[in-house]
C-alpha cells in the first residue's frame, strides 16, 4: 500500500508532458458535447487525459473555458489532464485565447499540419517572446496578458511563464499523405512534443475514407507510425480506429497517447443499450 501511494504521488507531481516524454502512456476520450456536466463527470472516472475539441464541435473559446473549469473542478481528486484541439493550424489569435484559459498542466493539439514551416508557426503561437532573464527560453509570438488571465491564476502564479516552457504539451496532427512524407521535418521542430495520427483523415486523403483494412491505408498508417518512432524528440500519439486493439497500440506499435472514444459516442452507446434492453422487456423490438 505504501509503494502504491508513493507511485501515485510521483505521477501527480509530473505534468502530462513530462510523463509522456519520460516514456509514460495515457489514454482518454475526445470530447465534442460542449457540456460542462459531461466534462466534469468524465474527469472523475480515471482517464489520463481528455481532448476538448474546438474543431468539429460547437465549442468556442468562451464555452471552452467553461469546459476547462469543469475538468479542473473534478481534478481536485483526480489527475485527468485537459488537452484542447484548436480549430486551425493558422490562427495564433485563437491559440492565444485558448492558452489564456488553460490552467497548466495541460496541452494543445493542432490539426492538419503538413510541413515544417507550419509546425514552427504552431510552436511560435504557443510561446511568449524570449525573455532576457532566461537564455534557454524558446521564444515565440504569443501576446502577453499574464497578470489578468485564468491560466496564470489571474496573476497569482509568478512562475507561469516558466511553466509554459515545462508543462505545456504541444502536439500536431498529421492527417494527409503529404503530412506523412513530412514527418521527419515536422518532428525536428523544437517545441513539438508529439505527432498525433488521424487514421480517418489519412484514409480520406487517399480516397478511401474509413477503409482501415485496405492495404494502401494500412501501408500509409504504418509508414507514419514508423516515421514518428524514428524521431529523436517526438512521441507517437493518435486516434484508435474501429476494431484496433488498444494493447497492441500501446505495447507493440509504440503509441504513448491514444484517444479511443468520444464522449458523444459513449453516451449514444449507453443510451442505445438501455433503450434496447427496456424495449426487449416491453416487446417493442
Catalytic center residues: 56
Which residue reads 507561469 in cell numbers? 160
3-state secondary structure of 257: strand
Q: Name which of 38, 14, 112, 6 is nearest 261 in CA terms.
A: 38
Look up residue 136 and give its three cell numbers.
534557454
Nearest residue to 199 (alpha-carbon basis) of 181, 230, 175: 175
Question: Cβ distance 127 to 138 under 8 Å?
Answer: yes
DSSP state string for 126-160? HSPPP-TT-TT---------GGG-GGGTTTT-TTH
Cell numbers for 265: 459516442
Q: Pull the grid cell for residue 244.
A: 484496433
For residue 169, what are the β-bridge partners? 107
Which residues lie below 8 Å from residue 227, measured CB to CB, with a gap of 6+?
Answer: 180, 183, 184, 187
Provide the pairing of β-strand 26-31 with 255-262.
Answer: parallel
Closest C-alpha among 189, 201, 137, 140 to residue 163: 137
Amino acid at each position: 500500500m505504501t509503494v502504491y501511494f508513493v507511485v501515485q504521488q510521483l505521477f501527480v507531481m509530473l505534468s502530462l508532458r513530462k510523463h509522456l516524454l519520460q516514456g509514460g502512456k495515457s489514454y482518454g476520450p475526445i470530447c465534442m458535447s460542449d457540456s460542462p456536466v459531461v466534462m466534469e463527470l468524465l474527469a472523475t472516472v480515471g482517464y489520463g487525459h481528455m481532448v476538448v475539441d474546438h474543431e468539429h464541435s460547437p465549442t468556442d473559446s468562451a464555452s471552452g473555458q467553461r469546459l476547462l473549469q469543469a475538468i479542473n473542478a473534478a481534478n481536485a481528486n483526480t489527475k485527468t489532464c485537459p488537452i484542447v484541439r484548436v480549430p486551425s493550424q493558422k490562427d495564433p489569435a485563437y491559440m492565444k485565447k485558448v492558452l489564456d484559459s488553460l490552467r497548466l498542466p495541460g496541452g494543445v493539439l493542432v490539426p492538419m499540419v503538413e510541413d515544417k514551416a507550419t509546425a514552427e508557426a504552431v510552436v511560435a503561437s504557443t510561446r511568449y517572446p524570449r525573455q532576457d532573464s532566461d537564455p534557454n527560453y524558446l521564444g515565440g509570438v504569443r501576446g502577453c496578458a499574464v497578470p489578468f488571465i485564468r491560466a496564470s491564476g489571474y496573476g497569482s502564479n509568478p512562475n507561469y511563464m516558466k511553466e509554459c516552457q515545462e508543462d505545456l504539451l504541444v502536439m500536431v496532427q498529421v492527417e494527409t499523405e503529404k503530412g506523412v512524407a513530412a514527418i521527419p521535418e515536422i518532428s525536428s521542430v523544437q517545441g513539438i512534443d508529439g505527432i498525433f495520427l488521424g487514421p480517418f483523415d489519412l484514409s480520406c486523403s487517399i480516397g478511401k475514407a474509413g477503409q482501415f483494412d485496405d492495404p494502401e491505408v494500412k501501408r500509409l498508417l504504418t509508414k507514419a507510425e514508423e516515421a514518428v518512432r524514428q524521431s529523436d524528440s517526438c512521441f507517437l500519439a493518435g486516434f484508435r480506429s474501429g476494431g484496433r486493439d488498444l494493447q497492441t497500440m500501446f505495447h507493440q506499435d509504440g503509441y504513448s497517447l491514444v484517444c479511443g472514444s468520444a464522449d458523444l459516442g459513449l453516451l449514444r452507446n449507453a443510451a442505445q443499450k438501455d433503450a434496447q434492453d427496456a424495449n426487449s422487456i416491453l416487446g417493442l423490438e
